[in-house]
Amino acid sequence: MPVAVGIGLTNECNLACPHCYRPTLTQQRLSVPEVETILDNLDVGSVNLGVGENGVHPEYRDMLALFRERNVKTAITSNGYSLDMLSDEELSAFHSVELSFDFPTKKEMDEFRGEGSWEMASESVERCLRLGIPTSVAAVMMNTNYDKIGDTARFAFGLGCDLRVNVYQPVTGEEFTLSYEQFWRGFANLFAAGPVVVCSEPLVNAVMGLESSRGSPCGTRSIRALPAGTISPCPYWPAAAGIIPHLAGNGRDIWKSREFEKSRRVPEACEPCRFVESCAGGCASRRAIRNNIEQPDEYCPVVRGGEEEVRRIREMLRYTLSDPSDVPKAGNACTTVITTAEAAPSQ
């Protein structure tokens, strides 16, 4: 079965955003032979470039040429830097592009990400749309912006883009971690802004009653190759499952590794739950980061207050559905995509 592969070519970046999870103590870069090993030994359905700002890698353009030669469906998440250096022809080879905006205004964005970050990302959005490339805005939902996520969605729609949202993971610290109430209020704010294209955040998917997936995609339908040359179920996963050279000749064995098996494990306490088939314990990486892989997701309403709490959350999550779209990132992360109401079918 083809899988979604997330690849981080480098941990380097032109910015130093305070919520970033990339390691920064040493320079890490994948080589062209390592990327070839991934393509040769995994059934690659799509590739998304993330982690650091991939354009900082000195062989970035060679890597993109390799993906084109192999006819690999390729997407990228960028602050704009990795797009600015490409010709129109190179840029147009991407299946889709995402530009990072965590706030709906220039002032907030530049204060958080650095002076000029808003303009750089905005110019890239305009260029991509002009070239006819499917373009989205990507945001991380944090305790500093969950109450503005609806405004960020409307900003994205004004540009002609969908919005994709990931929940902040406390890989490097708790400063931006959402509380339980902020998590669910954030999704309520998000769904109030526009129809849902896809939702692979396990708890939300389950409580909404979509049951479109089982647990997180990580470790089941997706795999990550990180700049250190390691393989992992998810970029947030706290331990490596192996190294890229180990894929040679036996790439399928990585799915049987201890870390991948852990990522698919359902906590015993979740087994009787009526949501277990779609939730599977919630986000495995969030549980692993907490060293609580055997415990339910910290945002679980069933654990928090049983059926009464589930009803409260469901009442909060007023949503409509859009036609499903080809969203490469949805296959390799716990993520949610919403679209403009004008683009959605009537419900």
Q: What is the pLDDT of residue 24?
A: 83
Neighbours of 295 (CB within 10 A): 17
The answer to whether residue 285 is domain-embedded is: no
Domain assignment present for 281: no
284 found inside a domain: no
Look at residue 286 and tell me if it is in a domain: no
Residue 334, domain extent: 3-264+306-343
Question: Domain containing 114 — which CATH number?
Answer: 3.20.20.70
What does pLDDT average to in each consecutive run of 10 residues of the chain (347 residues)? Answer: 92 95 91 97 94 97 97 97 98 97 97 97 98 97 98 96 96 95 98 93 90 74 93 94 92 90 94 93 94 95 96 94 63 82 52
Q: Under 8 Å CB-to-CB from 152, ≥6 apart: which residues?
A: 101, 102, 103, 104, 137, 139, 145, 163
User: Is 292 part of any domain?
Assistant: no
Residue 299 phi/psi, 5° resolution? -95, 15
The pLDDT value recorded for residue 347 is 39
Q: How many CA atoms lie within 13 A of 317 on its CB side?
A: 24
At residue 324, the pLDDT reads 65
Count of structural domains within the chain: 1
Q: Identify any residues that bridge with 139 across adjacent strands, giving them in sequence order.
A: 165
Expressed in angstroms, the distance from the first to the final Cα of the chain is 33
Please report the pLDDT score of residue 217 as a whole number.
Answer: 82
pLDDT for position 345: 47
| pLDDT of the residue at 78 | 98
Residues in Cβ contact with 58 at an 8 Å cutoff, skipping those fewer than 6 apart: 29
Classify residue 38: in a domain, yes or no: yes
Asked if residue 271 is part of any domain, the answer here is no
Task: Name 138's bridge partners.
Answer: 100, 164
pLDDT at position 333: 72
pLDDT, residue 125, reads 98
Question: In the chain, which residue ranges form alpha helices assigned H by DSSP?
Answer: 32-41, 60-69, 81-84, 88-92, 106-113, 117-130, 149-159, 180-193, 202-208, 258-263, 276-279, 284-289, 301-316
Q: Return the amino acid letter for 5.
A: V
Q: What is the pLDDT of residue 178?
A: 98
Predicted confidence at residue 1, as pLDDT, reads: 75
User: Is residue 293 assigned to a domain?
Assistant: no
pLDDT at res. 322:
86
